[in-house]
Structure formats: C-alpha cells, structure tokens
Structure 1
Amino acid sequence: MTAGSPPRKSPRSSAAAPSAQTLDLERYVPAFITFIANKLSNSATAFYQREFGVNVTEWRIMSLLAIEPGIAASRICQVIGFNKGPVSRTLADMQQRGLIAIRSDPNDGRTHSISLTAKGRSTHDKVIVAALDRERRLMSCLDAGEQEVLIDLLRRLHNNLGAVTGES
C-alpha cells in the first residue's frame, strides 16, 4: 500500500460480495409500505401543523377519538400501533392544549376515558376535510375498482401482520 492510497479490501470484507442478496426496492413490499407511510406522515405533519396546529400523531388520535369517544390509551396504542410512552406524552400535551379530556374511570382508577373537547372536535372537523382531500388526491391515479381492490389488499395485509410481528 502506498501513502495516501485506500486500503485494499479482501473479498471477505467487501460490503457487497458478488453472491450477496440485495433487496429489489421496486418489488419489496415492506419497503414500499414504509416509504409511502413515511412520506405521507412527514408531509401530513408539515401541512397539519402549519394549517391546524396539530401534528400527524395528534391527528391520528383525534380521528380515533371521533370514532370511539371515551376509549382508553391502551386502545389508542393498539389501533395506531404506537408504544405507550409516546402516546401518553402526546395525550398529556393535547390535554394541556384543551383538545382532549381525560377522565378516571369511577370503577377503576387505573383506567382513563379519553374524549375530544369542543375545541378538539372543532379542530378534528377542520382537519378531516384536508385529510380526505389528501386521500382523494393520492388515490386519483386509481379507478374506483382499483381503489376497492387496494383497500381490500391493505386490510388483508393488516390482518396478517401477526405472521411477522408474533402478535395474534
């Protein structure tokens, strides 16, 4: 090796050995789903924060509370797939900002009922218009039949997550 020249790599230390497998990112479904989800989340957070003062996690929680008023934090975690810590911090912040109310269950002090406040419902009602418009624009490249097939396929994948997560 001469001064200034890069060290030679032995075939064993090569990062991409000729026989090594690589992902085809044009066909690897988990990557596609992740890339789409990340890009949708990032753009939604920027837009919702700028227009409505909420981030995408807050919006997901608000949309779930509009569907299931009075649910517990554990249910929120189950549906949106987040850990308890981030959800608890987000809920505390949303409560402080007057978007949600958290009430203790009179029969079990460890359980809490979470609901949108009037301010939270008003914010939800504004954001949902934008969220549905974003969905419409995203899906505009598919005809109605293709949209139904996609929704069915995504639902089936969602229902089959236990095959890779180990959860039932």
Structure 2
Amino acid sequence: MTVDTPSEKTSARATDRPGDASPFALGLLLRRAHRRAASVMTEALRPLGIELRHFGVLIVLADRGPTVQRDLVQAAGSDKAGIMRVVDDLESKGLAVRKAVPGDRRVRVVEITQKGLELFDQAHAAAEPLAERLVTHLGAGEAEQLTDLLNRFTHPDDGEE
C-alpha cells in the first residue's frame, strides 16, 4: 500500500518566532509589538492614576475636540460598554465631561477638561524617556521608518485622493 504525499510544499505553520513565514506572521508580530509598547506606556501612566484605555480616549478628545460618545467607540478601538466605563472613569477623575447635544437629548458629547489636558501633557512627558527604551536597539532612522510604515499600514486611505 502506498501513501500519497502532496507534491507541493504545504504552507508554513504559524510559530510566533522571528522569521516566521506563515500568513499569520504579521499579525503575530503586531500583537507582540503592541504588548511590548503597551507595557512601557502602562508604566508611564501608572503614577498618573490612569490606564492605557483612558489615555486612548484622551488622545481622541485632545485631537478631535468634543466628540459624540458613539464616535469614541470606533476612534478608540473599543466597544460601547467599554467606552461607557472609560468615560465614566474620566468623568469621575475630572478629566472629561459629558454634555448634552442641543436638539437630541439621547446624544452626549464628551469633552476633555483643562485638568485632562494637563494630565495628557504630563503623560507625554513621563512616557518620553520610557519610549526611548522601545527603540534603543534600532539603528539610526529605523524608529522613524517603523513609525512611517505603521502609519501607512494603519491608515491606508490617508494618502489616496
């Protein structure tokens, strides 16, 4: 009895190791990079009394200004319940406020407060030296190159007209 063996090489299996050629390699690398960066940023935010999820919403509010709460879901990469908890936390800390939208009492706009902006600036100052640790092993210009590549990867439509 003979056993049929495929004549074509089977695709590589995901290993989560450097050089992995599987179709999952990019996703696995991005997940590892996120965990590493999140760990460093969490260390910077801890003394300020906020978490990365809070800071993610503060980024959106500082960048966009007052934002409808439902729009924060997509902008912060969260879900509705998660955004509600984060906004509740930010409000209880005096970092953001909810305001009614004239003409639609069901809709709330979330706005960063002055205290929130001050904490936002403190977080950047605290994170800068820690962020340097993330890229210390990269060569000259590689951190900027990585940032450029990740920006183009995550915002593919920004360069199109």
Q: CA deviation at 1:35?
A: 1.2
Report deviation, 1:132: 3.2
Q: Which of 133, 136, 143 is the equivalent residue of 2:132?
A: 136
Structure 1: tracts of 5 or more residues without a match: 1-18, 161-168
Q: TM-score, normalised by structure 1?
A: 0.72
Indicate yes or no: 2:81 matched with 1:90.
no
Secondary structure, counterpart of 1:119 in structure 2:
helix
**Residue 61 (structure 2) pairs with residue 70 (structure 1):** no
1:117-143 Cα distance to aligned partner (Å, 9 max, x none): 222122112111123333333233334
Q: Percent identity?
A: 23
Letter in 2 for 1:39: R
- Extract unaligned runs of 5+ from structure 2: 1-9, 157-161
- Tell me the CA shift for residue 144 of structure 1: 5.2
Runs of 4+ in 1 over 6 A off after TM superposition: none
Aligned-residue CA RMSD (Å) = 2.4
TM-score by length of 2: 0.75
2:20 is the counterpart of 1:29: no
Q: CA deviation at 1:43?
A: 3.8
* Corresponding residue to 2:42 among 41, 45, 53: 45
Aligned residues: 142
Q: 1:68 to 1:78 in 2, by over 3 A?
A: same
Q: Is the 8 A contact 1:104 1:112 kept in 2?
A: yes
Task: Give the aligned partner of residue 159 of structure 2.
Answer: none
Distance 1:64 1:147 in 2: 23
Rg comparison, structure with higher value = 1
